[in-house]
Amino acid sequence: MNLKGLRVSGRRLQSALEEMARIGATAGGGVQRLALADEDKKARDLFVDWLQALKLEIAVDEMGNIFGTRPGAQKALPPVMSGSHIDSQPRGGRFDGILGVMGTLEVLRTLEENNISTARPIAIVAWTSEEGCRFTPAMLGSGVWTGALDRDWVYNRTDLSGRRFEDELIRIGYKGTAPCKKKPVHCYYEYHIEQGPVLEREAKTIGVPRGITGLHWYDIYLEGEANQAGPTPMAGRRDALVTAAEMILKVNELPQRMGGKLVATVGEIQNYPNSRNIIPAKVHFTVDIRSWDDQHAIKAWDLLRNDFEDIAASRGCPINIEETWRVAHAPFDEKRVQLITDCVASLGYSYLPMVSGAGHDASYMSRVCPTAMIFVPSIGGRSHVEVENTRMEDCAAGANVLLHAIVRSANEI
């Protein structure tokens, strides 16, 4: 077998993506497979069926992470691992996460079909609860596996309706028996859509990120005073929503004020009592700051925090700030990034060295083993929405890069 000429089946990959997209399909053409919901269970069941058909050695750990291992000629060597996640955003897209899982599956199918064996085992993985929208924070399965998060702390996380993570894991039948604990891994690859507009804008097929930006999440709580909107004079009002509005503009201005090199977003807001003729008494909103430069992001936050405190004081609305989550930027392994770049070049695709603005399970994995990622373009840069889309030829191109990266790495001894 000429390994150089080896290619995945773009058609088979497409069909796997389409079959997955029917599980939790939304009217708007996207999918909704929230972590540990019924649709997540259905997609997991289908995935496990497919792993069984490939005769992989299947293990589900106590966090519900699913592993399928294809033995290598030298069984004792740590495996090459590749995968992503199955869960989606509410009314999310058909590519985020699942492309990396189906891409790896397609790699394994291609190897099987061509009777190609490798020196090292190859492990495909589907990490539990990556999105962080039903249960916060994000990347729970890989977080516990790599030792960054505590299993029992995650078990006790609840969704908005108060359901516990562990109870939901048991309910869908995916609380496995294998300990959720890192094992030696030769290297980890994660294939994903870009989720931004840069590759499309630059007309490149493959993105090769050198790492993931740092991620800083904050929760802001403001306390105002509810009163009837009509008879309450403007002077003396303590309006929590007006106070929040001034802060939201500050968040939006932050990147420019810091000379770029970061993005800052308020994605979520709750207002109480949220009645049109009552002055808002309480507001909660979130702040998301991302930068490759961790110190730059912290400096930005310090500025913002000062602004918030000044605004809260001047508008008479006491503020409570929670520093919810902070993940340092995750530089990938230079040799693995180079290997990806070499594979892209030998396959003849155009590519762009870049940075990932989105968090991925690869962020935690990069702490425990050499890690790299492969990106393909998101049409219009759209992601986390139902119209999220990637051209099928790009999906196949990314899978070919993954195929060659995996085979090369699995033959390193």
Tokens of 386: 């139902």
The kind and range of the H/E element at 395 are: helix 392-410
Half-sphere exposure of 15 (CA within 13 A, CB side): 6
Interface pick for its own copies out of 15, 74, 117, 252 (rule CB under 8 A): 252
Q: Is the CB of 269 or the CB of 303 nearer to its own copies?
A: 269
Residue 121 sits at φ, ψ, to 5 deg, of: -65, 155
Tokens of 260: 């770029």
Told to check if 197 binds its own copies by CB under 8 A, we report yes
Q: How far apart are the first and last CA of the chain?
A: 20
Interface pick for its own copies out of 268, 334, 393, 412 (rule CB under 8 A): 268
> What secondary structure letter does DSSP report for 198?
H
Told to check if 138 binds its own copies by CB under 8 A, we report yes
The C-alpha atoms of residue 89 and residue 149 are separated, in whole angstroms, by 21
Q: Cβ of residue 49: shortest distance to its own copies, in angstroms?
A: 30
Q: Cβ of residue 203: shortest distance to its own copies, in angstroms?
A: 17
Q: Cβ of residue 335: shortest distance to its own copies, in angstroms?
A: 25
Footprint of its own copies on residues 204-223 (CB under 8 A)? 213, 215, 217
Contacts for 106 with CB less than 8 Å, ≥ 6 apart: 8, 9, 12, 13, 16, 399, 403
The C-alpha atoms of residue 320 and residue 308 are separated, in whole angstroms, by 10
Q: Cβ of residue 211: shortest distance to its own copies, in angstroms?
A: 13
Tokens of 360: 């991925």
Told to check if 271 binds its own copies by CB under 8 A, we report yes
Q: Cβ of residue 208: shortest distance to its own copies, in angstroms?
A: 14
Half-sphere exposure of 20 (CA within 13 A, CB side): 30
Exposed/middle/buried for residue 12 (C-beta within 10 Å: 0-12, 13-18, 19+): middle
Told to check if 233 binds its own copies by CB under 8 A, we report yes
Told to check if 52 binds its own copies by CB under 8 A, we report no
Structural contact between residues 42 and 98, judged by C-beta atoms closer than 8 angstroms: no
Q: By CB under 8 A, how many residues form the interface with its own copies?
A: 66
* CA quadruple 134, 136, 142, 144: dihedral, nearest 10: -120
Told to check if 390 binds its own copies by CB under 8 A, we report no
Told to check if 239 binds its own copies by CB under 8 A, we report yes
Structural contact between residues 125 and 82, judged by C-beta atoms closer than 8 angstroms: yes
Q: Of the ranges 68-76, 183-191, 244-252, 395-403, which one interacts with its own copies (CB under 8 A)?
A: 244-252
Interface pick for its own copies out of 33, 44, 157, 290 (rule CB under 8 A): 290
Interface pick for its own copies out of 82, 84, 88, 89 (rule CB under 8 A): 89
**CA angle in degrees (0–180, nearest 5) for 72-126-92:** 145
Q: Is the CB of 267 or the CB of 353 nearer to its own copies?
A: 267
Interface pick for its own copies out of 28, 90, 173, 353 (rule CB under 8 A): 90
Q: Cβ of residue 350: shortest distance to its own copies, in angstroms?
A: 19
* Positions that interact with its own copies (CB under 8 A): 89-91, 132-133, 136, 138, 194-198, 213, 215, 217, 225-234, 236, 239, 241-242, 244-246, 248-249, 252, 255-256, 263-269, 271, 273-281, 286, 288, 290, 356-359, 381-385
